[in-house]
Amino acid sequence: MYTSKNIETLVDVRTALHASSHLSDLLDLIARRTTEFLNAKGAFVQLIDIEKDTVECAGAHGWGERYLPKWSICKHEIIRNQCRLGKILIITDILNDARVQNAAEMWDDGVRMAIFVCLTLQSHIGGIIRIFFPEARKLSQEERSFLVTVATCGACAIESARLLENQKSLYDHLALQTEKLSALGRMAAGIAHEINNPLAGILLYSTNLLKKASKDGPFKEALEIIVHETKRCGDIIQDLLDFSREGEPKKALVNINDVTEKAVSILENEFRLHHIKLEKQLSPELPDTYVDANQMEQVFVDVLLNAIEAVQERGVITIESRLGSDGKSEVIKIGDTGCGIPQENLAKIFEPFFSTKSNGTGLGLAVSYGIVQKHGGNIHVASQPGQGTCFTIELPIPDSIPSKEVTTHPNGSH
């Protein structure tokens, strides 16, 4: 039977096990509490990988601190046989048992009995607790129950701690990568600004020379190439600057249909030149929402330009706006009957510098993705090669719209 004191100890141990989040601290705790409860001289715990013969982590208390560095992993079959016999293995013949390492040294130190307890993690052997005693004795049923409880709770706590440490390691890695990307963005913005000045000079002088060049002269074609490529470099730098900017949207109360119509009007000539049919289904029931009209116009223009390039000639582009199914968002869909996007590229199209175009920078959709995210929305894509592509942009409708500022004149009028 458990005494109230021992029950209190068990509860205390279980609570402490699940409160500890670091593996090394957790293993030290198991070794210390086990030693104290059994009145042993020490213990150590090893988390092991049987197949690789490696120790992942360890903790020790008392005599365990002395023997831990000297104790390697037993042979596979010995450990497996040990666990088949049960969670608890009691060794009283220290000098003649093959499962005891450094037996003569331990005997000279006064060790007369050892207990091994297996830690089973997700149905495989994940660790062993080894406890050392100065004299051989029988374990009470209460002590056996305690060891089983520690092994069971300890295994669960170890798995949780391992998961937390893995997640922390992943988070630290992502945080480091984010900081690197942020630094790269700042550096790229600085470089872009530095390049802009000499580039503007090149464009100015080459344009002036082109105006003066003879139509049939040998330099006209070369100057046209210089002007064209310089402008292209300028566009790339502008995209890079837009991508690296971290400014917050300057939101105002607008109707998203009006923003869509303005983006369409900008590209009206492109639709006509490529003989593209434009079909619009803009819901008149959309409420005004709070967005940066210029930034959202940039998003629509970029998505429409991608659709125009995908369609090439005599295709159809559709634009649809409607309320979201939850009534708390506005949905804008831009679809085309173009070439579609291969499945292996779908997950990459919003990544910076990813482009399938020979002259593309891969920044347009990355910038658009960032703008939509800053508005608290989502943008995603569905596509099948040869069957077209559809971009879906979802923007939240705020619960309350900030009231417009009222300007008070000195005479008290508004």
Kind and range of the H or E run holding 132: strand 124-133
DSSP 315: -
Residues 103 and 130 in one domain: yes
- Give the confidence band of 413 by pLDDT, cuts at 50, 70, 90: very low
Residues 152 and 91 in one domain: yes
How many domains does the chain contain in total?
A: 3
Residues 156 and 212 in one domain: no
pLDDT at 195 over 70: yes
Cβ atoms of 289 and 395 closer than 8 Å? yes
| Distances from the Cα of 407 to the Cα of 253, 395, 413, angstroms | 18, 30, 9
Residue 154 lies in a domain: yes
Residue 414 lies in a domain: no
Residue ranges of the alpha helices (H) in 121-140?
A: none
Rounded to whole angstroms, the Cα distance separating 348 from 352 reads 9
* pLDDT value for 362: 55
Residues 264 and 357 in one domain: yes
Residues 290 and 192 in one domain: no
Among the residue ranges 44-53, 199-208, 337-346, the one predicted with the least confidence is 44-53
- Give the confidence band of 405 by pLDDT, cuts at 50, 70, 90: very low
Among the residue ranges 8-12, 25-29, 155-159, 392-396, the one predicted with the least confidence is 8-12
User: Among the three residues 211, 244, 277, which one is the final residue of a domain in this structure?
Assistant: 244
User: Of the candidates 77, 25, 24, which has an alpha carbon nearest to the alpha carbon of residue 55?
Assistant: 24
Residues 272 and 163 in one domain: no
- Give the confidence band of 15 by pLDDT, cuts at 50, 70, 90: low
Residues 340-354: tens digit of each pLDDT: 888 888 888 887 666
DSSP 279: E
| Residue of higher predicted confidence among 231 and 400 | 231
Residues 17 and 119 in one domain: yes
Report if pTM > 0.75.
no
> What mean pLDDT, rounded, does the chain reach?
79
Residue 286: other Cβ atoms inside 10 A: 18
| CATH number of the domain that residue 21 is part of | 3.30.450.40
* pLDDT value for 337: 92
User: How would you classify residue 110: left for phi > 0, otherwise alpha for psi between -120 and 50, otherwise beta?
Assistant: left
Q: Tell me the CA end-to-end span of the chain in Å, nearest whole number.
A: 84
Q: Which amino acid is at 79?
A: I
Read off φ and ψ for residue 60, nearest 5 degrees. -150, 160
Residues 334 and 356 in one domain: yes
Kind and range of the H or E run holding 35: helix 23-38
Residue 155 lies in a domain: yes
User: Among the three residues 168, 185, 219, which one is the final residue of a domain in this structure?
Assistant: 168
| Residue of higher predicted confidence among 123 and 285 | 285
Residue 51 lies in a domain: yes
| CATH number of the domain that residue 330 is part of | 3.30.565.10
Residue 353: other Cβ atoms inside 10 A: 11
pLDDT at 192 over 50: yes
The radius of gyration of the chain's CA atoms, rounded to the nearest angstrom, is: 35
The mean pLDDT value for 253-266 works out to: 92
Residues 66 and 176 in one domain: no
The mean pLDDT value for 394-402 works out to: 77
Residues 75 and 146 in one domain: yes
Which domain does 184 fall in, by range?
171-244
Residue 412 lies in a domain: no
Residue 409 lies in a domain: no
Residues 135 and 223 in one domain: no
pLDDT at 255 over 90: yes
Q: Which amino acid is at 183?
A: A
Residue 404 lies in a domain: no
Residue 206: other Cβ atoms inside 10 A: 21
Residue 405 lies in a domain: no
User: Of the candidates 326, 217, 13, 171, which has an alpha carbon nearest to the alpha carbon of residue 5?
Assistant: 13
Q: At what angle do helices 364-374 and 220-244 cross, to 10 degrees?
A: 30
User: Among the three residues 139, 168, 197, which one is the final residue of a domain in this structure?
Assistant: 168
* pLDDT value for 197: 79
Residues 14 and 139 in one domain: yes
| CATH number of the domain that residue 209 is part of | 1.10.287.130
